[in-house]
Structure 1
Amino acid sequence: MSARPALTRDRIVEAAVTVADRGGLGAVSMRSVGREVGAEAMSLYHHLRGKEELLDALADWAFSRIRLPRPDQPWRVAMRTRAASARAVLFAHPWALGLLESRRHPGPALLHHHDAVIGCLRDAGFPVRLAAHAYSVLDAYVYGFVLTELNLPMEAGEDAQEFAEGLALAAEDYPHLVEMMTEQISGGTYDYADEFDYGLDLVLDGLEERLSATARVDG
């Protein structure tokens, strides 16, 4: 029989990710993670002070998976790439949605991520206040989109047209809603996921306009 791998902080965090992926954040406890890693819960306390530190580590784990801006990227490309990466990570690990910005003791990956995003915007000429606004609105858009995407009411294998037909809405009662659904969804090609890039462009266009206005005022 092969020896069990040594218990480490990284193994504990990976086990916590597995537990959270399977049962949500509410399923994560020192006991459940101990079972996942094949150790008594008390053994985990040699590596983590308790559940709150474990949650800090989970938030850090999630941030470490989101792609950082590269120094050679224009700010708009960097923000688009980061937003797409964040969406992918959060869709794959929905438990992270309520965790990313909730920690009073953020880890190094989380802090480095924030610093890199702010640095990218500042290097592009964003004043501090506008950089803060940009970061906030981009994250609000990504987090909100993923939350909606995860909770769409379609059944497995059901497309948007089938869902709309099942609602059987009367045009005389909901004329604008029926008009939009007819134009957007009919034909079976509509996919809500396609809205992400369009909405992100709206946000980035607005930020670009604000940045240009700031430059004109400063100039």
Structure 2
Amino acid sequence: MTELKSRARRGVEKSEILDAAFTLFASAGEQGFSIRKLAAIVGVDPMTILHHFRSKEELLRAIADHALRGVEIPAATTNWQNDLKAVANAYRMLAHRHPRVFHLHFRYNATGPADHISSEIVYCALRQAGLADTQAAGLGLAFYAFVLGFALAETEGLLRPIGESEETELQALDAETYKATRALIPALKTLDPDAAFDDAMNAFISGVADLSRHRPDQSSLNPKSGAASH
């Protein structure tokens, strides 16, 4: 029996398992995914799957990274603003392309090699913008929280023009208490998700630039640096 299992493990490549796992997850979603179903599709024992991936969590992390590898993330440039937009657009495209897989990117700080490539671009961009490392670390994670959240909201149907029933509900709100909400009804009826995403990204980038401009001059905070200049 052990000999047969060993031959089965050698007979299937890890990449083959991952390809099948991604296809199953992308079509059936997490509720329809299991190690047992995957093993049946690949034609191996479930333990063979766990021989290549030590746990279901490790496999799910690999599925998320596999999905990201299918989206082009341009290389870093000398324009930090464009680099942030390029990474943001890549993740938004990923959500549109694989909506059932996308939520896995919320589960892990990083899904693997492809995720680290994108985060390196983001961290380099924020440092290039002039932020301190503590700011770059925090805003780097905030950047992903915004981009992933926006893209997930799109896949769930939140960022779309409101319909007739939603308009009726808003029109029924008290005109004085909800003055701004009612005033925005025409804009909500014609909401453009692409424009909203661009506006949100530009606001984030403007905020980074403003934060960098108001960053204290580190040399002026260092007494030794000041003394050495005399």
Q: Is the 8 A contact 1:66 1:82 kept in 2?
A: no
Q: Which residue of 2 aligns with 1:170?
A: 172
Q: Is the 8 A contact 1:125 1:211 kept in 2?
A: yes
Whether 1:134 and 2:139 are equivalent positions in the alignment is yes
Q: Which residue of 2 aligns with 1:181?
A: 185
Structure 1 residues 103 and 165: CA distance shift in structure 2, 3 A: closer
Q: Is the 8 A contact 1:76 1:204 kept in 2?
A: yes
Whether 1:199 and 2:200 are equivalent positions in the alignment is yes
C-alpha distance in 1 between matches for 2:72 and 2:132: 23
Structure 1 residues 78 and 39: CA distance shift in structure 2, 3 A: same
Structure 1 residues 42 and 113: CA distance shift in structure 2, 3 A: same
**What RMSD over aligned residues (CA atoms) do the two structures have, in Å?**
3.0
Q: How far did 1:96 drift?
A: 4.1
Q: Map of 1:74-113 to 2, 5 A cutoff?
A: 74-100=79-105, 102-103=107-108, 107-113=112-118
Q: CA offsets, 1:41-65, max 9 Å, x none?
A: 3332342223122122123223434
Tell me which amino acid in the other structure corresponds to 1:92: R
Q: Map of 1:19-98 to 2, 5 A cutoff?
A: 19-68=24-73, 70-98=75-103
Structure 1 residues 166 and 21: CA distance shift in structure 2, 3 A: farther
Q: CA offsets, 1:161-207, max 9 Å, x none?
A: 5454454723645443221112x145xx4333431111111111001
Q: Is the 8 A contact 2:77 2:83 kept in 1?
A: no
Q: CA offsets, 1:52-88, max 9 Å, x none?
A: 2212212322343454452324111000110011111
Other structure's SS at 2:171 match: coil
* Aligned pairs, number: 207
Q: TM-score scaled to structure 1, two decimals?
A: 0.77
Structure 1 residues 190 and 120: CA distance shift in structure 2, 3 A: closer
C-alpha distance in 2 between matches for 1:142 and 1:149: 11
Q: Is the 8 A contact 1:69 1:79 kept in 2?
A: no
Tell me which amino acid in the other structure corresponds to 1:93: H
Q: Which has the larger radius of gyration?
A: 2
Aligned identity (percent) is 26
C-alpha distance in 2 between matches for 1:105 and 1:140: 12
Q: Which moved more, 1:189-198 or 1:80-89?
A: 189-198
Identify unmatched segments of 5+ residues in structure 2: 1-10, 220-230
Identify unmatched segments of 5+ residues in structure 1: 1-5
Q: TM-score scaled to structure 2, two decimals?
A: 0.74
Q: Which moved more, 1:96-105 or 1:53-62?
A: 96-105
Q: How far did 1:139 drift?
A: 0.9
C-alpha distance in 2 between matches for 1:39 and 1:57: 19
Q: Is the 8 A contact 1:164 1:181 kept in 2?
A: no
